[in-house]
Structure 1
Amino acid sequence: MNAPLRAGPAATLPRRHPWAGFLLGFGMGGFFDGILLHQILQWHHLLSGLNAASLADLRVQVVADGVFHALMYAVAGAGLWSLYRSRGAGMPPRKRLLAEFLIGFGAWHVIDAVLSHWVVGLHRLRMDVAEPLPWELAWLVLFGIVPLLAGWVLRRQGPGAGGAGGAAVSALLAVVITTAAALNLYPVSAPAQDTSVVVLRPGASAAGLLAALDGTDARVVWADASGGVWVLADAPSATLFSLFGAGALYVSGASAPGGCSAWIAPRDGRA
């Protein structure tokens, strides 16, 4: 007698990992916020809304942003690992993966707005405006609600629905994100004066900074007690670039090299 037929291929294939797209979208949402809002636009840092004196140092804020990005790396890595684990069952349909990515991307912005901005108060979207709520609501709609709805619509269409719909949604979101990012580069109102933030490397002397400013139109507006962070007004572009040779680690308004991790290096051999 012939042996009974075994169950079809679906019975032997490993279970799919539906969290792959969601985790990737969630992690990319965090990277999008951190890179654009913390570093490029500098609207806030992760802990800008907390009033503890120990958090006032910009160097502490930068390290907190770095820890946040490390966490987003872990989330994105988990998504990649989940996607890798699903390879035995065949890669998830591209449309389904895109839907889950959009849901994760939107979910990040909804959670960030509700928890970080309004419940816990870690920061507001813009720390430099009197009324941040309108900005937060617009940001929530553009990067939270719209991707969530787009992902939900794609999932309801099913994997067999026309692929042109997924491509159209992707193109629309790409246009929305690019346009919004470009518009955010321009302030709603002109600042009272042209200011730049200068962060000195650990061990760099403030005397070198002041010497580089001597004979220019730049004025010192503020400096922190440690002498590590300075705010300058009306500094010419050429002067800003010259500050890197005077011990600056970061200069807003100039092309700053990577090096924020230098803040967590031990000083004088001590941790």
Structure 2
Amino acid sequence: MDSARFSYAGRNAWSGLLVGIAIAAFIDEAVFHQILHWHHFYDKSTTEVGLVSDGLFHAFSWFATVGGLFMRADLRRRHALWPMRWWGNVLIGSGGFQLYDGTIQHKAMRLHQIRYVEHVFIYDLIWNVAAALMIVIGLALVVRARVPSRVKKAGTP
């Protein structure tokens, strides 16, 4: 591992986190808001307000996408992209955003529910367990990327 990639480790992390947040936000917006019509970003008002909130949420996800990918392109140009660390942080960003959405926005703030049905618990459980799994897998990739190779060349002590 060359020193340039180590010196850009933080930038790899931030780029991956931004892209991960953007992916989770985009999937939430496209699938649950637009295709399935399960909820809007803000459901405590009229449908029109819900649609405006969805538009602002969608804009946020695109700003995160553009910012994260510009950082990634800069890392590649500098030969400082650390792919395993980057992908690990993509998963941490996606899972973290999803867990925040499922716990804070759905339950604490009650901005919206994942779906308005009688037994919402199963939806919440699947949503939050999937988020936790993404975080755990992402952390494993980041930790694995930090561990230096233990393979030694032949003839070295």
- Paired residues in the alignment total 144
The residue aligned with 1:137 is 125
1:157 maps to which of 118, 124, 144:
144
1:93 corresponds to: 82
The answer (yes or no) to whether the contact 1:21–1:104 under 8 Å persists in 2 is yes
Tell me how far apart the structure 2 counterparts of residues 93 and 14 of structure 1 sit (CA, whole Å): 8
SS in 2 for 1:158: helix
Q: Return the alpha-carbon distance in structure 2 between the equivalents of residues 131 and 67 of structure 1.
A: 29
AA partner of residue 139 (structure 2): W
Percent identity of paired positions between Structure 1 and Structure 2: 28
Aligned AA (1:154): L
Identify the structure with the greater strand proportion: 1
The match for 1:74 is: 63
Q: After the TM superposition, which parts of structure 1 deviate over 3 Å for at least 4 consecutive aligned residues?
A: none
How far apart, in 1, do the equivalents of 2:115 and 2:6 lie? 46
Q: How does 1:111-190 map to 2 (within 5 A)?
A: 111-127=100-116, 129-142=117-130, 144-158=131-145
Instruction: Calculate the aligned-residue CA RMSD, in Å.
Output: 2.3
Task: Determine the structure 1 residue equivalent to 2:92.
Answer: 103
Contact 1:96/1:154 (8 A) holds in 2: yes
Name the amino acid aligned to 1:76: T
Structure with larger Rg:
1
C-alpha distance in 1, partners of 2:114/2:6?
42
User: 1 or 2 for the larger relative contact order (CA 8 Å, sep ≥6)?
Assistant: 2
Q: What letter matches 2:120 in structure 1?
A: P
* Unaligned stretches of 5+ residues in structure 1: 1-8, 162-271
Matched, 1:26 2:21: yes
Report if aligned partners of 2:17, 2:94 keep a CA contact under 8 Å in 1: yes
SS in 1 for 2:110: coil
CA-CA distance at 1:137 after TM superposition:
1.5
The separation in 2 between residues aligned to 1:15 and 1:72, in whole angstroms, is 28
Counterpart in the other structure of 1:38: 33
* Structure 2, unaligned runs of 5 or more: 150-157
**Displacement after TM superposition at 1:14 (Å):** 10
TM-score by structure 2 length? Answer: 0.81
